[in-house]
Amino acid sequence: MTQNKTAIITGASSGLGLETTKALVAQGFKVLMVSRGEQKLLDAANQIRQAHPEAEISEHVVDISNLDQVRNFAKSVGNNVDLLVNNAGLMGPDFSLSIDGIESQMATNHVGHFLLTSELMESLEKAQGRVVHLSSVVHRRGKFPELSPEVLQGSNKSSYDRWQRYADTKLACLLFGRELDLRLKQSGSRVLSVIAHPGWAITGLQKNHPHTLDSFAQDAATGARSQILAATDQELSGGEFIGPKFELWGEPKQIRGSKRSQDLGLSKGLWEATEELIGIKFLG
């Protein structure tokens, strides 16, 4: 029964986030749509209201890479959060630092979501809720040969490789989801942590990096099936990684991910480095 359940979706104004919002609204969820671009967010919300006049949605302009904005948003959220979908992302931008001095891809794809999840955990606990983390097939290229707050921060422009950094952030999303699952279970929590990836899908992230084979990719609605299943399948118990059957395409199913993504030492190291970088303790 999803009626009256509350979901928060970051990056909800386009692509996978918008398609996930549509699907959850159709299932009766109240959805808090989070995005950094105000006009685009308003347009997306109005599009959903036209299709679903009964929809309970609200718009929240938040830059996930801005840690103060994340904290302020979390404080504004009510007591019960049934579902948090950490969907917002950047892919391969020119080098830049967030307002907190963290490389923009890592700040958006991992660090901001780590903080948001931490800030909302009490509300998720009350609802026995669920967190969905969005990874990517390129997590397989993620390396993290060493982990430290400095590596996560990535403030050295001369060593910036946009595609390696993107792969590292998506490995971080998967490691975070698995480590969160482990810590939740160890604490006796009934909150679930599930990871998903869309396969090869055209979502808007690719607009500055078009590929000659993009016509063969899935559309955003098809790509979003993995995270919608991760968000709603009542048979899941936490820790699952959901992606297309044939990795780039296909019906969503439980998959394994790379060997590195299953490294418990690496996931623990990422967790501790992230805590140190932003100065918090989360389920410690």
Q: Write out the catalytic residue numbers.
A: 160
Maximal CA-CA distance, the chain: 51
Q: Report strand pairing: 241-244 vs 57-61.
A: unpaired
What tokens were used for 35? 């995005």
* Contact of 53 with 47, CB cutoff 8 Å: no
Nearest to 134 by CA among 36, 230, 31, 35: 230
CA-CA-CA-CA torsion sign (259, 205, 246, 233): positive
Q: Report strand pairing: 30-35 vs 6-10.
A: parallel
Sheet containing 6-10, strands listed edge to edge, beginning at the edge strand earlier in sequence: 57-61, 30-35, 6-10, 83-86, 130-134, 192-196, 241-244, 252-255
What tokens were used for 238? 């936490």
